[in-house]
Structure 1
Amino acid sequence: MPAPDLMAAELTLTGRITTASNATFLGSIGDVVVVYKPIAGERPLWDFPAGSLAHREVAAYRVSQVLGWDIVPHTWLRDGPMGEGMVQLWQERDPAQSPVDLVATEQVPETGWKQILEGQDERGRMVALVHEDSPALRRMAVFDIIVNNADRKGDHVLAMPRGHRHGVDHGLTFHSEHKLRTVLWGWLGEALTADEHAGIDRVSEGLHGELGRTLADLISAEEIASLAARCARLRLAGRFPAPSGEMSAVPWPLF
């Protein structure tokens, strides 16, 4: 059976994802399972322009493609039952893997993991926020820095089979002011790898060509200029940055 036309074929809603802060639906286009977030269902925010989150999700996918690391699943804009919105290919995560986790402090693994912070749970027990120390998550952390992701929660990291990691929920990205809030702080101060440098360079170069033209239809010129500046700063520093500013460095809730 041929694949359906993902832009023109009927999008049918099959359920609602009630844990999302904005209207988010599970749907299908033929036999292809998708997530649909209509612009009409976006809640107003004080610091992001109204009706812009779906466009930012698509912009994040475009940057991910140029990076070459397949972080963001295929994402596009199209019409749907509640009007235009973001549509993204559904990803079935591996429930046996937890790339980001909360564990008892005494159970933090000695190798292969990074501890981000420590605190108390609702019962007063000491717990630690940890994430795996893997190339896939390092690349996602680089991606978050350059797109200025203000909402990298633990559940926004999808564990896929064979170690691949997808990142989802990128509506709060590309702000021209510093907004980075993430659970992926484990490599603070560590030098970027050659592969990570090369990915940043691909984005910087792409902004002068097709990527720049594509983003011009999705985010503002000021935001594109800020993206270019973040790439240049990260490339020059050559290291994962530390948190800065007065706002929280992690999103809340963490998951």
Structure 2
Amino acid sequence: MTGPDLATAELTLTGRLTTASNATFLGRIGDAAVVYKPVAGEAPLWDFPSGTLAHREVAAYVISQALGWDIVPRTWLRDGPLGEGMVQLWQEQDPAQRPVDLVATDHLPETGWRGVLEGEDESGQRITLIHEDSPALRRMAVFDLIVNNADRKGDHVLAMADGHRYGVDHGLTLHRDHKLRTVLWGWVGEALTADELEGIDRVGDALHGELSHALTDLLSAEEIAALAARCARLRSAGRFPAPSGQMPAVPWPLF
């Protein structure tokens, strides 16, 4: 026996994430736990077109699928109790793991981590933003470069018990202008691996066919062209870029 059709079966709301800047609800479709973000609950932004965040979340999933790295949980558009919105399968993360963290600067781990920036906490203690040095997080950093992620906060990285890392909250992606803001800056200047370059090539090649068609109803033609240009630049450079432009390099808050 198959389960309910996730696109058409009843979506029942079970709660709300009150810390989110846009209306974000927990729900169920049959036995599947989901996150639901209605377009009607999107807060207006000065730098992103109104009513497009749900579409950008779905576009990020489609691009993740083209990469082949399973970075974004299954995400789709459908009708719900508050109208059309983005729906994403809920992922139960491992609370014992923190892929991105703030630690005292004089107690940094010796191996397995990359430092991003230093600052002071409320008491004046020096602290450092760090993230794990893992293939899974490197892949996520490459994905963020491709989709021009303007909001990769630490809590947008979900740690699965088996070591897999999911990325969520991709409403602020795929702008045609440079918007990259991320906490994953630990590999600046380092060469991309063959696996990472192959992933970029898969996206670039798919943009000549099925991927471009799939994105047509989600993004503007200018945004799709900018996506292709980012892939080409990243492939040509062959390494992780440094922050650039006038925008802050990290989101705020960091978590």
Gaps of 5+ in 1: none
> Distance between the aligned counterparts of 2:158 and 2:193, measured in 1?
23
CA distance in 1, matches of 2:224, 2:48: 15
Which position in structure 2 is the counterpart of 1:54?
A: 54
| Structure 2 residue aligned with 1:141 | 141
- Residue identity opposite 2:253 in structure 1: P
- 2:217 aligned residue: 217
1:109 alignment counterpart: 109
Which secondary structure state, in structure 1, belongs to the residue aligned with residue 162 of structure 2?
Answer: helix
Mapped pair 1:80 → 2:80: yes
Distance 2:211 2:243 in 1: 28
Report the CA distance between 1:122 and its aligned residue: 1.1
Partners of 1:66 and 1:157 in 2: CA distance: 20
Look up the match of 2:205: 205
Partner amino acid for 1:115?
A: G
Deviation of residue 19 (structure 1)?
Answer: 1.1
Instruction: Report the alpha carbon displacement of residue 146 of structure 1 after superposing the two structures with TM.
Output: 0.6
Residue type of the alignment partner of 1:159: A
Two-structure CA RMSD over aligned residues (Å): 0.6
Name the structure 2 match of 1:9: 9
Q: Secondary structure at the match of 2:58?
A: helix
Q: How does 1:16-165 map to 2 (within 5 A)?
A: 16-165=16-165
Q: TM-score if structure 1 supplies the norm length?
A: 0.99
Rounded to whole Å, the distance in 2 between the matches of 1:138 and 1:67 is 13
Q: Percent identity?
A: 79
Partner Cα distance (1:247, 1:202) in 2: 29
- Separation of aligned partners in 2, 1:181 and 1:250: 4
Q: Secondary structure at the match of 1:127?
A: strand
4+ residue runs over 6 A deviation: none
TM-score (norm. length: structure 2):
0.99
Match of 1:235 in 2: 235
Any idea what the Cα deviations from partners look like across 1:73-104, whole Å, max 9, x if unmatched? 00000000000000000000000000000000
Q: Distance in 1 between matches of 2:251 and 2:107?
A: 23
- Count of residue pairs brought into register by the alignment: 255
* 1:200-239 Cα deviation digits (max 9, x unpaired): 0000011111100010110000000000000000000000
Superposed CA deviations along residues 12-58 of structure 1, whole A, max 9, x for unmatched, are 00000011110000000011000000000000001101000000000
1:190 corresponds to? 190
SS at match of 1:163: coil
> In structure 2, what is the Cα distance between the partners aligned to 1:227 and 1:2?
37
Give CA deviations for 1:148-178 in whole Å, capped at 9, x if unaligned: 0000000000000111000000000000110
2:163 maps to a residue whose letter is G
- What letter matches 1:198 in structure 2? E
Alpha-carbon distance in 2 for matches of 1:23, 1:81:
12
Q: Supply the distance in 2 between the matched residues of 1:250 and 1:141 (Cα, whole angstroms).
A: 13
3-state DSSP of counterpart to 1:46: coil
Q: CA deviation at 1:2?
A: 2.7
Tell me the secondary structure at the aligned position of residue 175 of structure 1: coil
SS at 1:185 equivalent: coil
In structure 2, stretches of 5+ residues that fail to align are: none
- CA distance in 2 between partners of 1:136 and 1:32 (Å): 25
Amino acid at match of 1:237: A
Q: Distance in 1 between matches of 2:250 and 2:224?
A: 24
Indicate the SS of the match to 1:186.
coil
